[in-house]
Amino acid sequence: MKTKGVIQANIKDRFRLFAGVIVGLIIPLIFGEAYARLYPPLDIQPYLGDESPLKGIYRPDPVLGVDYRSIADYRPYEAPLFAELRPLNVPKTWLFFGNSFAGGMSVTAREVLPSYRILFFREAKDRLHMRVAQARMLLRNGLRPERLIFTLISGEIAAYVKLPLSSVYVNRGGAITYRVRMPLAPWDQLLIHSRLVLMAWVHSGLYHAIPRFRPTQITETMPDIVVADFRRMLNAIGELSRQYEIPVTVVIFPDRHQILSGGSKFNMQKMIVELCQEAGLDVYDPSPLLLGYPDKKALYIPDWHYTASGNKMIFADFLNHLDQIESKKTTRLGTSP
């Protein structure tokens, strides 16, 4: 009987231990889940859709995923306010859209072309579809430049591997949010119903459209999902160019490793050139110019932007590129019946 009592006591002790472990795990999870719902962490707010507390100035768009609600809501990042752009129809006005590389190019343009009005537009999110939406809004509201220049770098192109256009969702509050890649069933239900699981999913990087794709691969391999997105965005730029009769040039800057290390097949540039040609857009690639420079490292400052002399060399070649285009147009017009 004594042995039986000891066994029962051991069973009860193990049950209490097991119950204690379960309660110790479940209660923090319940409190954690409740806290994440009441006070969602900043890093998951962009992935909560209509449940996100984020507010914004945007509306959905069937082509680009996002558009501005109105010109009154326009709040640029490193760009003039719309009211500061008047008069709207000024001869020799060029608009640059891009990130800091476009900024460097626009600074050089102001130095080389002092009689031109050079305006640089940058979106905080540094993504091409946002720049296209920005350009469309400005043109829609009467701005009439002589030329538009959109710049691209490898990191921005690789961003569409992580969050393609199909993931973009403007919530009820007008904020840009993103749909995450879902795991297979039944784990998708956990992700849908648990903020803690969503946090883990986002922190792991598994929410990316192509989770194990390294951004550095983009210069040699552009996944189909990225090609499709850039075809859509470049076609939208082409439509703007034709609708408003404004020439557009897309500048595709090479990654520094393509220039410094050698061996690159420049597949990224080849694909962008092909897509631009499909869209009826002019495209400029400074890669041959940079590859031919004897001291390639001297083209870059420590943060890997171009030096002032590097920017001047690129911009001079860019102007030569535009001159060649105009010369070809003149030749075609002169030989046409």
Per-residue pLDDT of the chain (337 residues; tens, 9 = 90+): 555 554 554 555 455 545 444 544 566 656 666 766 788 889 899 999 999 999 999 999 999 999 999 998 888 888 888 888 889 989 999 999 999 999 999 999 999 999 999 999 988 777 999 999 999 999 999 999 999 999 999 999 999 999 999 999 999 999 999 999 998 888 888 888 888 889 889 999 999 999 989 999 999 999 999 999 999 999 999 999 999 999 999 999 999 999 998 889 999 999 999 999 999 999 999 999 999 999 999 999 999 999 999 999 999 999 999 999 888 776 665 554 4
Handedness of CA 197, 200, 203, 209 (dihedral sign): negative
CA distance 93 to 116: 6
> Crossing angle for the helix pair 195-204 and 2-38, nearest 10 degrees?
70
Q: pTM of the prediction?
A: 0.88
DSSP string, 180-199: PPPPSTTHHHHHHH-HHHHH
Residue 332: what pLDDT? 63
DSSP string, 228-251: HHHHHHHHHHHHHHHHHT--EEEE
The burial class, CB within 10 Å (0-12 / 13-18 / 19+), for 91 is: exposed
Structure token digits, residue 85: 């752009």
3-state secondary structure 11-75: HHHHHHHHHHHHHHHHHHHHHHHHHHHHCCCCCCHHHCHHHCCCCCCEECCCCCCCEECCHHHCC
Residue 77: what pLDDT? 81
Helix (H/G/I), strand (E/B), else coil: 264: coil
Q: Return left, alpha or beta for 74; rule: phi > 0 is left, psi -120 to 50 is alpha, else beta.
A: beta
Residue written as tokens 């039986």? 4
Residue 335: what pLDDT? 54
For residue 313, CA distances in Å to 135, 302, 321 come to 27, 18, 12
CA distance 133 to 198: 30
**Number of other residues whose CB lies within 10 A of the CB of residue 292:** 8
Query: Which pairing describes strands 67-68 and 93-97: parallel, antiparallel, or unpaired?
Result: unpaired
For residue 257, CA distances in Å to 50, 202, 260, 266, 317 come to 41, 29, 5, 11, 21
Query: Which pairing describes strands 93-97 and 117-121: parallel, antiparallel, or unpaired?
Result: parallel
For residue 4, CA distances in Å to 15, 17, 116 come to 16, 20, 97
Residue 184: what pLDDT? 86
DSSP string, 148-165: EEEEE-HHHHHHHHHS-G
Q: Residue 269: enclosing H or E segment and its boundaries? A: helix 267-279
> Crossing angle for the helix pair 224-244 and 128-140, nearest 10 degrees?
10
C-alpha 172: how far from its chain's center? 22
Residue 76: what pLDDT? 81
Residue 55: what pLDDT? 95
CA distance 127 to 65: 12
Domains and CATH numbers, the chain: 57-335 (3.40.50.1110)
